[in-house]
Amino acid sequence: MTPEETNQLAELLKSLPGAKGVDLKDVRRLVQLLRDSPEIGSIALKGLFGTGVTVTRTGLVSGGGAGTIPPTLPMVPAQSVPEPSPTPAPATSPLKEIRSPMVGTFYAAPEPGAESYVKVGQRVSPGQTVCIIEAMKIMNEIEAELGGIVKETCVENAQPVEFGQVLFRVDPNG
């Protein structure tokens, strides 16, 4: 990322509601964290009203080595984080999959002893939090990309998950 692109990102972050305290050195630290930690898929900053910016490492620059950051990082509203390219469900199954966007530890509830975010048979809406994945001691709320009825939870609470692993199967027609 060039110094000019870093400055542009810092200015964009300053314009977000609730992100007024972000300055250039913080942006540089986030960019360096992405360079140094290939297991991090994205960093999201959300403002007070759900607005935000997501910086995602979705593709490596051609000819670059592992850990190379693309010259222009995609910046999208926090609600529309691109989903990983899923393996399509078998043609006979009407169920859609909610997959893990990162490596980490799956948690079904916001804290130990609390009720799960979603249960089998429950209706979910796009943008609804369905679980938490802890990665590097950061709790990342995972949101449903689609609406429907949860038909299957594919991961046990506190189980490690891989990038792209199926977390839930949802019937969008239910």
Dihedral angle at the C-alpha atoms of 155, 135, 102, 114, nearest 10 degrees? Answer: 40
Contact, 122 vs 76, CB < 8 A? no
Q: Is 106 helix (H, G, I), strand (E, B) or coil?
A: strand
Q: Residue 87 falls within a domain, yes or no?
A: no
Q: Are residues 9 and 75 in the same domain?
A: yes
Q: How far apart are CA 149 and CA 170, in angstroms?
A: 5
Last residue of a domain, one of 80, 110, 137: 80
Q: Is the pLDDT of residue 145 over 50?
A: yes
Q: Which pLDDT value is given to residue 155?
A: 95
Q: Residue 145 falls within a domain, yes or no?
A: yes
Q: Which two tokens stand for residue 86?
A: 């899923």
Q: Residue 47 falls within a domain, yes or no?
A: yes
Q: Which pLDDT value is given to residue 13?
A: 63
Please tell me the pTM assigned to this model: 0.48
Q: Which domain holds residue 107?
A: 96-171
pLDDT tens for 156-174 read 999 999 999 999 999 998 7
Q: Which pLDDT value is given to residue 159?
A: 95
Last residue of a domain, one of 80, 105, 135: 80
Cα distances from 92 to residues 33, 88, 96, in angstroms, run 42, 11, 12
Domains of the chain: total: 2
Q: Which two tokens stand for residue 126?
A: 């796009």
Q: Are residues 58 and 115 in the same domain?
A: no
Q: Are residues 69 and 120 in the same domain?
A: no
Q: How far apart are CA 156 and CA 105, in angstroms?
A: 10
Q: Is the pLDDT of residue 27 over 80?
A: no
Q: Which pLDDT value is given to residue 76?
A: 43
Q: Are residues 145 and 76 in the same domain?
A: no
- 24-36 and 3-14 helices cross at what angle (nearest 10)? 120
pLDDT tens for 93-136 read 689 999 999 999 999 999 999 999 999 999 999 999 999 999 99
Q: Are residues 18 and 63 in the same domain?
A: yes
Q: Which pLDDT value is given to residue 151?
A: 95
Give the pLDDT band (50/70/90) at residue 35. confident
Q: Are residues 72 and 105 in the same domain?
A: no
Last residue of a domain, one of 30, 48, 80: 80
Q: Residue 146 falls within a domain, yes or no?
A: yes
pLDDT tens for 44-103 read 665 544 545 555 554 444 344 444 444 444 444 444 444 555 555 555 568 999 999 999
Q: Give the domain CATH number at 167.
A: 2.40.50.100
Q: Are residues 103 and 61 in the same domain?
A: no
